[in-house]
Amino acid sequence: MKTELTVNGQTRVIDVEPRTTLLDVLRDGLGLTATHAGCEHGVCGACTVLVDGEAVRSCLILGVQADGLDIRTVEGLTSGDGALDIVQDAFCETHGLQCGYCTSGMILAAHALLRVNAAPDEEEIREAISGNICRCTGYQQIVEAIQLAAERIRTSNTLKAGEVVK
Amino acid sequence: MKPAQFDYARPKTVEEACGILAADMDARVLAGGQTLVPMLAMRLSRPSVLVDITRIAGLQGIACSDDTVEIGAVTRQAAALASEVIRAEVPLLAKALRHVGHPPTRCRGTVGGSVAHGDPSAEIPLAVTVLGAEIVFVGEDGEEERFAPEDFFIGPMLTTAPMGGLLTRLVFPRRAAAPTGTGFREVASRRSDYAFASAGAQVVLNADGTCAEARLGIGSVGDTPVAVDISGLSGTRLTAQDIRGAVVEALSDLETVDDLHATASYRKRAAVRLAELALAEARDDALEQAG
Ligand SMILES: Cc1cc2nc3c(=O)[nH]c(=O)nc-3n(C[C@@H](O)[C@H](O)[C@H](O)COP(=O)(O)OP(=O)(O)OC[C@H]3O[C@@H](n4cnc5c(N)ncnc54)[C@H](O)[C@@H]3O)c2cc1C
Ligand code: FES
Ligand code: FES
């Protein structure tokens, strides 16, 4: 089925089989493997992407349903020359990741939060990542990473969360 | 974990959607997909065609009339949670929505999808049951059919929804002008997961601070959410003793089930305690409004 997908600001029309999830379209169809496949049935959050700025599970959206929606993945956070965006950088600095499997989902969940709430408290951060499972860190450093990113976004004149380098 | 093959249709109107559903017994409605897509992935469901109703404009949005608030079936749970109208006029639903999944599942999951699915531990069906909201379907013939919650939820994931029907909207009563307090409590293994036991309550106060009307419902403990007759509280001051006495009596014959997560007797004890907490929360909320 012909589907118009806008991923990281780039629009293309591709042929998608109805049963293929957006997750598989991104990874297998477009080669965007920063979005991770974990459980593939909605419980882990590894596959989180931004749709129209909000965090959603890409394993629970069919590719054909994404027709016309604005999709962002971790690849779209920076210009791709190895530079990290402000949230990614904060995750490195506070040791907010170990194996990294959950990390792209966590980072996009953080972006979705910081877009609408510039100064979240710990409770709000924990709520925002409550659908993302991490088996390594114990979450504490992830919470600290998001607090640090929030503070830096508030006090700097760099890109705001959700803003993207074209 | 890949779904089997199916066709996909994205109708623009309710009539078109009903036409596709009527033409094919194995067609299934796709709303937010937060329950259906996992079932497809695990191949527990193998429809011939999915009818994506999320872009039917007539099924979206929240409208307030003199005494009701109508919620379109494909209104996203996140939109309902953010709605000022729902917070002000159907406060129990607003409290229940906070417990439905996580922010990412609420961004896609719909209010109507949760009701159509009829999970006994789902919070939206519990709020519908406590408040006696009407569940409105359009059948194959295009005729509207209205259901009361107790006639609709008949078993775990089992409802009396008409074959090939489409849930179009929910009609909630607006809260009373008098002080109206609400309470919602549940126990679950993880934040925002499905609950093992849940309770929703609403109380309306008289001018003298006594209880004019009390409503209570229990979810997650049996085959369906149940409305509990707690009218014994009317006329009381809703003291802790009043509440305890009324709850213990009202829940004495509550049927609860055993499963992997909790025993029937645990569920019974939890239901009683959560009902007390929900009613006390509702009382305090109402007293605060009374000033
Ligand atoms: C990780 C996770 C956690 C969750 N936690 C909770 C929780 O704590 N509490 C809770 O209540 N839910 C929870 N859910 C489920 C909730 O997110 C779903 O949104 C909800 O159960 C179904 O709504 P939906 O719009 O996604 O429907 P879909 O998945 O699209 O559909 C569900 C079923 O209803 C039918 N249907 C949907 N809409 C209609 C309609 N308008 N007319 C006729 N039939 C229709 C479909 O055919 C399907 O059979 C969770 C889901 C996930 C993935
Ligand atoms: S892969 Fe999508 S939630 Fe686990
Ligand atoms: S860093 Fe390993 S799962 Fe989170």
- Tell me the domain boundaries of chain A: 2-76, 86-154
A51–B33 C-beta distance less than 8 A:
no
pLDDT reading at A165 higher than 80: no
Q: Could you give the CA distance from residue B82 to residue B175 in angstroms, rounded to a whole number?
A: 18
Average pLDDT over chain A, rounded to whole? Answer: 94
Q: What kind of fold does domain A2-76 have according to CATH?
A: Ubiquitin-like (UB roll) (3.10.20)
Weakest mean pLDDT among B2-16, B181-195, B242-256, B266-280 = B181-195
Q: Could you give the CA distance from residue A74 to residue A11 in angstroms, rounded to a whole number?
A: 17
CATH number at residue B226: 3.30.390.50
B34–A42 C-beta distance less than 8 A:
yes
Q: Could you give the CA distance from residue B17 to residue B124 in angstroms, rounded to a whole number?
A: 24
Chain A, 75 to 104: residues with Cβ < 8 Å from chain B are none
B159 and B234 co-located in one domain:
no
pLDDT at A51: 97
Mean pLDDT of B184-209: 93
Mean pLDDT of B192-216: 95
B121 and B208 co-located in one domain:
no
> For residue B57, is it within any domain?
no
Q: How confident is the model at residue A157 (pLDDT cuts 50, 70, 90)?
A: low
pLDDT at A166: 44
Work out the percent of chain A whose per-residue pLDDT is above 70: 94
pLDDT at A82: 83
Weakest mean pLDDT among A99-113, A136-150, B27-41, B178-192 = B178-192
- Which is it for strands B49-52 and A2-7: parallel, antiparallel or unpaired? unpaired
B219 and B271 co-located in one domain:
yes
The helix (H) or strand (E) run that includes residue A86 is helix A86-93
pLDDT reading at B67 higher than 50: yes
B276 and B188 co-located in one domain:
yes
Q: How many domains does chain B have?
A: 3
How do residues A73-85 score in pLDDT, each as one tens digit?
Answer: 999 998 878 889 9
The CA distances from residue B133 to B125, B176, B184, B281, in Å, are 9, 15, 17, 22
Q: Could you give the CA distance from residue A39 to residue B67 in angstroms, rounded to a whole number?
A: 44
Work out the percent of chain A whose per-residue pLDDT is above 90: 89
pLDDT reading at B15 higher than 80: yes
* Closest ligand to Cα A138: 3
B156 and B257 co-located in one domain:
no
- Is the distance from CB of B53 to CB of B17 less than 8 angstroms? yes
Task: Print the domain residue range for B70.
Answer: 62-173
B242 and B185 co-located in one domain:
yes
- Is the distance from CB of B176 to CB of B215 less than 8 angstroms? no
Q: What's the CATH code, domain A86-154?
A: 1.10.150.120
Q: Does A55 touch chain B (CB under 8 A)?
A: yes
pLDDT reading at A110 higher than 60: yes
Atom of ligand 2 nearest to the CA of A36: 1
Nearest CA to ligand 3 atom 4: A134
B70 and B135 co-located in one domain:
yes
How do residues B77-127 score in pLDDT, each as one tens digit?
Answer: 999 999 999 999 999 999 999 999 999 999 999 999 999 999 999 999 999
Instruction: Choose which residue among A99, A104, A129, A132 to substitute to test ligand 3 binding: the one with the highest number of ligand atoms within 8 A of its C-beta.
Output: A99
Atom of ligand 2 nearest to the CA of A45: 3
Cα of A20 to nearest chain B Cα, Å: 8
B81 and B161 co-located in one domain:
yes
Average pLDDT over chain B, rounded to whole? Answer: 96
B189 and B111 co-located in one domain:
no
